[in-house]
Amino acid sequence: MVKDKNIPQHVAIIMDGNGRWAKQKGLDRLQGHYEGVVSVREVIQTSLDIGVKYLTVYAFSSENWGRPKSEVEGLMELFCKTISLEIPSLVDKNVRVIFIGERQSLNASVLDSIQLCEQTTQKNTALTLVVALNYGSRREIVSAVKEISQAVCSGEMSVEEISESVVSDHLFTKNIPDPDLLIRTSGECRLSNFLMWQLSYTEFYFTKTLWPDFHKEAFLEAINYYKTRSRRYGLVTE
């Protein structure tokens, strides 16, 4: 496949509609999440093929703990199994994996698989896969505000020194460029507490396709939409 310079450097995805996909087929909701992993694999491979450098996927929000216990436990088991099983293939594809979100409420097996995955893939350079797990944008911003306040209170930093880049450096996404394109599947048009600071100038693409049905062609359609956009960052075009 020919690499093109109008390809977004960073694509973020809200992978929505697994439950509805399963329901339509008379399956358990968890089956939808398992099928969703197939779409994640396909989007990773396509990102590598076309030259996307960062791919962020919203796997579990800080609000998702409120789902039925069986679904939460099933999802944690799915994360644990998938992350561990995929490591050799991610290494083979030269993919670096980073997890963003609060780690303290995750169980030991999920934590172990996350740490192993991050350590094993840390030197890879073809694509950075950012997995948002127990992630919430408001909490992320609150935590940044607390850290910056502490730095000011201890005299390490003055109030005047607080800037956009200081705030960015206190987010989980420190050192990761902001997304160029956000995709949300399943027809919902909202952010659901995802990367609210980082998406300030991002192009949004919403599709009715449910996440387990979101394959290579659907991803390329979103990329083609991005290519038609003229990004002005609040300025005017000449």
For ligand FPP, the binding residues (CB under 6 A) are: 15-20, 33, 36-37, 40, 57, 59-60, 64, 79, 82-83, 131, 186
Say how far apart CA 59 and CA 132 lie, in whole Å: 6
- Of 4, 6, 16, 224, catalytic: 16
Shortest separation between residue 125's beta carbon and ligand FPP, angstroms: 20
The CB-nearest residue to ligand FPP is 19
Active site residue 107: no
Rg for the chain, CA atoms, rounded: 18
Please spell the DSSP secondary structure of 125-179, one letter per residue. Answer: -SEEEEEEEEE-HHHHHHHHHHHHHHHHHTTSS-GGG--HHHHHHTSTTTTSPPP
Number of residues assigned to the chain: 238
- Of 28, 64, 178, 213, catalytic: 64
Shortest separation between residue 48's beta carbon and ligand FPP, angstroms: 16
Q: With respect to ligand FPP, which residue has the nearer C-beta, 78 or 162?
A: 78
Shortest separation between residue 216's beta carbon and ligand FPP, angstroms: 16
Say how far apart CA 217 and CA 158 lie, in whole Å: 50
Shortest separation between residue 26's beta carbon and ligand FPP, angstroms: 14
Q: With respect to ligand FPP, which residue has the nearer C-beta, 148 or 211?
A: 211
Q: With respect to ligand FPP, which residue has the nearer C-beta, 82 or 202?
A: 82
Say how far apart CA 63 and CA 72 lie, in whole Å: 11
Q: With respect to ligand FPP, which residue has the nearer C-beta, 82 or 134?
A: 82
Say how far apart CA 67 and CA 76 lie, in whole Å: 12
- Token pair for 197: 């600071």
Active site residue 124: no
The residues carrying an active-site annotation are 16, 64
